[in-house]
Amino acid sequence: MDLVEALRSFEAVAAERSFTRGAARAGQPQPVASRRVAALEEHLGARLLVRTSRRVDLSPEGARLLPVARELLAQADRVEHLFAGDAPRTVVAVPAALDHRARAAVRRGLPHLAVVFADDHAAARAAALAEGRADLALLPAADDRAEVRVPLGVAAADDPPARFVVEVLRAAAHERRGRPRALHVLAEDDVPPVRDPLRLACFAAGLRHDQVRVGTPDAEAWTSVFEHGDVVLASAAEAARQGVGWAPLVGPVDARGYRLEAPASTAGPLAGPERAGLLARLAAGLGGTVAGAAGAAGGGAS
């Protein structure tokens, strides 16, 4: 068994919650992806994916493996590109949600660089940049400094209203002894510009402290949507990937803001039109748009 390719199949199916879409994401025929995942489960002696009539979900063991698999795949990609011709290797740290069509577009747009993607949550991307393990990183930014904006809303198993207000999660008096519906804030949004104003708005609306769950592992948060009727703060693309409804959120947070950063000691490997093109491809791959701050950013990454 080729462990790296088996993990690549597993990661793609887990991300898409579908063997068909996951195989396409990994660039593999669907029967090949299925065989590789089955071989990986047999090799590890654990059930990683739970197949239902509608979708594929992560088992608890699969949820434990997924972040490790992503880390290993990122390292494997770096090894493959380490000696790729004479092009300088450029590590770009990005959110795991960046779709693979956009990744291919990024590489096509920078043919003189050997681009390697490092997927991780926001804090880990910042650490990779600070420690010299990344040349560029898409990092959270306040709205007035953002170069990319990804609209945020609420994902729910049932079709939410056209616009979602957090007050609808407030439990009625006769329901307050049981477990109330919760709003999950994923690790990607566990950053001050998103987390803090959202928490304040939820508590001002009368929600209990245990109804705002910050930093929930992705697999657990999405499982809770189906298990408990919870909702997840997410982009429309993330909700579509999980096969659930989505509505924009009425409140103090309407988007994730990102800024493309380089190490403080350098201007970064890109300038001018190349940097603008990279921002546009990253924005499209996350279901967002280039913000006004990008136009004022000048040539280099700050």
Report the CATH number that the domain containing residue 216 is assigned in CATH.
3.40.190
Same domain, 264 and 139: yes
Q: Which domain holds residue 283?
A: 96-143+255-302
Same domain, 160 and 248: yes
Residue 148 lies in a domain: no
Same domain, 109 and 183: no
Q: Is the dihedral of CA 23, 26, 31, 35 positive or negative?
A: negative
Residues 6 or more apart whose CB falls under 8 angstroms from that of 22 comprise 9, 12, 13, 14, 15, 16, 33, 56
Helix (H, G, I), strand (E, B) or coil at 93: strand
Beta bridge partners of 150: 256
Residue 46 lies in a domain: yes
Same domain, 135 and 159: no
**Residues 287 and 237 sit within 8 Å (Cβ to Cβ):** yes
Same domain, 127 and 69: no
Task: Give the whole-angstrom CA distance, residue 239 versus residue 222.
Answer: 9
Helix (H, G, I), strand (E, B) or coil at 251: coil
The three-state DSSP-derived secondary structure of 120-133 is CCHHHHHHHHHCCC
The whole-number pLDDT of residue 85 equals 56
Show the low-confidence residues of the chain (pLDDT under 50).
173-174, 293, 295-302
Same domain, 190 and 178: yes
Residue 90 lies in a domain: no
The whole-number pLDDT of residue 21 equals 85
Residue 91 lies in a domain: no
Burial 195-229 (b: 16+ CB within 10 A, else e): beebbebbeeeebeeebbbbebbbbbbbbbbbeee
Same domain, 133 and 259: yes
Domain termination residue (choose one: 39, 56, 82): 82
The count of structural domains within the chain is: 3
> Pick from 255, 115, 110: which is nearest to 188 by CA?
255
The whole-number pLDDT of residue 268 equals 65
The stretches of 168-217 forming alpha helices (DSSP H) are 192-204
Same domain, 180 and 60: no
In order of 77, 79, 84, 85, 287, the CA distances from 89 in angstroms are: 11, 10, 8, 10, 27
Same domain, 265 and 246: no
- Report the CATH number at residue 30: 1.10.10.10
Residue 177 lies in a domain: yes
Tell the residue number behind the tokens 């090799």, with chain if given: 43
Residue 78 lies in a domain: yes
Same domain, 263 and 231: no
> Pick from 108, 71, 100: which is nearest to 237 by CA?
100
The whole-number pLDDT of residue 104 equals 92
> Pick from 255, 251, 246: which is nearest to 289 by CA?
255
Burial 174-187 (b: 16+ CB within 10 A, else e): eeeeeebbbbbbbb
In order of 48, 113, 219, 221, the CA distances from 61 in angstroms are: 6, 37, 11, 15
The whole-number pLDDT of residue 168 equals 85
C-alpha dihedral, 204 to 205 to 206 to 211, nearest 10°: -100
Residues 6 or more apart whose CB falls under 8 angstroms from that of 75 comprise none
Task: Give the whole-angstrom CA distance, residue 104 versus residue 99.
Answer: 9
